[in-house]
Amino acid sequence: MELLKNKDVLSPFSRQLHKICMTPLGLAGLVFLLVVPLIPGVNAEYIMRWLTLAAYFAACTIIFDFTAGFINIVNFGFMAFCGVGAYCSSLLVIKFGFSPWLGMIAGGLLSGLVGLFTGVITLRLRGIFAACLTWFVGLALMGLCTKLIFLTRGQSGLSVPKLFESSSNIPYYYTIVVGILICFMICSFLVRSKMGLAFKAIGQNMEAAQTSGVNPVYYRVVNFVISCTLAGVLGGFYAHYIGILTPDILHTSRTMEVLAISYIGGRGSLWGGVFAAMPLMIGMELVRSSSSDLPGIHLMIYGVLLIIVMIYFPGGIAAEYYSLIEKLKNIKLVQWATSCRVND
């Protein structure tokens, strides 16, 4: 632990990267993500589609973890906030001829506004009550999207203009990889700032934080609004990628997927979800396509994994990785493998 806290242990290259919240391994992962579409065989359209969706979920887990891992509020309406962004963006594009990029930003702003209202009311409550209220808000938003048929066309679905002209998945893939990077950067810079210190204090021990003069409600709301805004932007991307919107994208079961991946990856790590999302999502796609007679089996696997993680590995993959590093003897290896623990 002491070893990790000491920044001198980092190699000069890592230290430079640490300034921009990156690590050698993180950089390697990013390069891997950028190179994947160039590998022949992998770049078949259906695999690229899976990868794009996996990357979308990875970006979602970063934002989800930003609230769940740091201020300890599980946002059960996460996908509903994504959906608000998605609907806002696509309606602006359809009705007023906005550019999809502008629409995505507007969707993020609306989602952030909804998040602000929700947050001001719910985040004064205890942790799980707040979680449940965000769930109710999510259900209410889904009900609204189903019922406001003159706007959203309800269950029959809204067809949305695509982000790019080409039908290939590659441009979408690169967009969302950049999206992952931006989300990660924003979240880790915030976590590293003075505000991030307050987030961590609230998440670990609210009484102590309050005694030290941290206003929990204020910081919780700020965190929640930031996360909702980013979620809205991502939702806009999803709408313009898939091309059709139904109220089902606001459904809780999709939030459950994000939740499961995020906790399997490791709470409070930000990168754990990204690491877990790729293999899990692709594995689940394989399971789903190979056992189509058993609908819901992939969700069941998520449930089992979530329970196992909760009981036996509460820190998820990230915590296992950190404890592995602490056992390493070779100092060179430690220098390279030590990731910037976002907490430091």
The contact set with another protein (CB under 8 A) reads: 72, 74, 121-122, 124-129, 131-133, 135-137, 139-140, 142-144, 146-147, 205-207, 253, 256, 259-260, 263, 294-297, 299-300, 302-307, 310-312, 314
Whole-number minimum distance, CB 259 to another protein, in Å? Answer: 7
Indicate the SS3 state at residue 245.
Answer: strand
Place of tokens 């965190």: 223
Closest to another protein by CB, 126 vs 332, is 126
- Distance CA(128)–CA(111), nearest Å, equals 22
Closest to another protein by CB, 112 vs 247, is 247
* Cβ contacts of 120 within 8 Å, gap of 6 or more: 221
Closest to another protein by CB, 102 vs 139, is 139
Whole-number minimum distance, CB 31 to another protein, in Å? Answer: 33
Whole-number minimum distance, CB 128 to another protein, in Å? Answer: 4
Provide the angle, in degrees to the nearest 10, between the axes of the packed helices 252-265 and 127-147. Answer: 140
DSSP 193: S
Q: Provide the residue type at 183 as one letter.
A: C
Whole-number minimum distance, CB 232 to another protein, in Å? Answer: 20
Closest to another protein by CB, 27 vs 287, is 287
Whole-number minimum distance, CB 24 to another protein, in Å? Answer: 31
- Length of the chain (residues): 344
Closest to another protein by CB, 23 vs 72, is 72
Whole-number minimum distance, CB 281 to another protein, in Å? Answer: 16
> In Å, how far from its chain's centre is CA 8?
31
DSSP 189: H
Closest to another protein by CB, 259 vs 274, is 259
Whole-number minimum distance, CB 300 to another protein, in Å? Answer: 4
- Distance CA(47)–CA(34), nearest Å, equals 15
Closest to another protein by CB, 168 vs 253, is 253
* Cβ contacts of 177 within 8 Å, gap of 6 or more: 30, 33, 34, 55
Provide the angle, in degrees to the nearest 10, between the axes of the packed helices 271-290 and 316-327. Answer: 120
**Helical residues (DSSP H) of 69-192, grouped into ranges:** 78-96, 100-122, 127-147, 149-152, 170-192
